[in-house]
Chain A
Amino acid sequence: MTSNNDAFLSVRDLIVEYTSEGRVIHAVNGVSFELERGKTLGLVGETGAGKTSTAKAIMRILPDPPAKIRSGEIVLDGQDLLKIDEKEMRKIRGRKVSMIFQDPMTALNPIMKIGEQISEVIKMHNDITWREANQQAAKMLEKVGIPSDRFNEYPHQFSGGMKQRVVIAIALACSPELLIADEPTTALDVTIQAQVLDMINKLKKDFNTSMIMISHNLGVVAEVCDDIAVIYAGEIIEYGGKEAIFDHPTHPYTLGLFGAVPHLYDDVDRLSPIPGLPPDPTNLPAGCHFSPRCPHGQELCRIEKKGLVEIQPGHFSRCTRFADQGR
Chain B
Amino acid sequence: MGRYILRRLLWMIPVILGVTILIFTIMYLIPGDPAKMMLGADSTPEQVEAKRQELGLNDSYFVRLGKYVGAIVLHFDFGESWVYHTPVTTELIRRFPRTLTIAFICILLQIFVGTPLGIIAAVNHNGLGDRISQFISIFGVSLPNFWVALMLVLFFSVRLGWLPPYGIGGIQYYILPCIALSFPGIATQARQTRSSMLEVIRSDYIVTARAKGMSENRVIFRHALPNALLPVVTIIGNGIGMLLAGAVVIESIFSIPGIGMYLVGGINARDYAVVQSSVIFLAIVFTFVMLLVDLVYALIDPRIKAQFAGKKRRKNYA
Bound pair (A, B) = yes
Contacts of A159 in B (CB 8 A): 316-318
* B32: Cβ under 8 A from any A Cβ: no
A121 to B212, CA, bound (A): 6
| B157 CB–A CB distance under 8 Å | no
- Report if A93 contacts B (CB, 8 A): yes
Q: What is the interface of chain B mostly: helix, strand, loop, or mixed?
A: helix
Any chain A CB within 8 A of the CB of B264?
no
Is A95 located at the chain interface by the 8 A CB criterion? Answer: yes
B306 within 8 A of A: yes
Interface string of B211-231 (1 = CB under 8 A from A): 111110000000100110010
Find out whether the CB atom of B227 lies under 8 angstroms from the CB atom of A92: no
Most chain-B CB neighbours within 10 Å: which of A89, A101, A167? A101
* B205 touching A106, Cβ below 8 Å: yes
How close is B201's CB to chain A, nearest CB, in angstroms? Answer: 9
- Find the B residue at minimum CB distance from A173: B212
Interface status of A156 (Cβ within 8 A of chain B): yes
Question: Could you tell me if A94 and B211 are in contact, using CB atoms closer than 8 angstroms?
Answer: yes
Closest-by-CB residue of B relative to A158 is B316
User: Is A154 interfacial (CB-CB < 8 Å)?
Assistant: yes
Complex CA distance for A191 and B303, rounded to whole angstroms: 27
Quick check: B211 and A111 within 8 Å, CB to CB? Answer: no
- Is A236 in the interface zone, CB < 8 Å from B? no
**Do residues A109 and B318 form an inter-chain contact, with CB atoms below 8 A?**
no
Is B318 in contact with A111, judged by CB distance below 8 angstroms?
no
Q: List 27 A-B pairs, Cβ < 8 Å.
A: A90-B215, A94-B212, A94-B214, A95-B213, A98-B211, A98-B212, A101-B211, A106-B203, A106-B204, A108-B208, A109-B208, A110-B227, A111-B301, A111-B303, A112-B223, A120-B212, A150-B314, A153-B314, A154-B306, A157-B314, A157-B316, A159-B318, A161-B318, A162-B316, A162-B317, A167-B208, A192-B318
Given A61-B207, A92-B213, A94-B212, 12 more pairs with CB closer than 8 A:
A99-B211, A101-B207, A106-B203, A107-B204, A108-B205, A109-B205, A109-B223, A110-B205, A111-B230, A125-B213, A153-B306, A161-B318
By Cβ-Cβ distance, the 4 closest A-B pairs, closest first, are A93-B213, A94-B213, A106-B204, A94-B212
B-contacting residues of A (Cβ < 8 Å)?
A: 59, 61, 89-95, 98-99, 101, 103, 106-112, 120-121, 124-125, 150, 153-154, 156-159, 161-162, 167, 170, 191-192
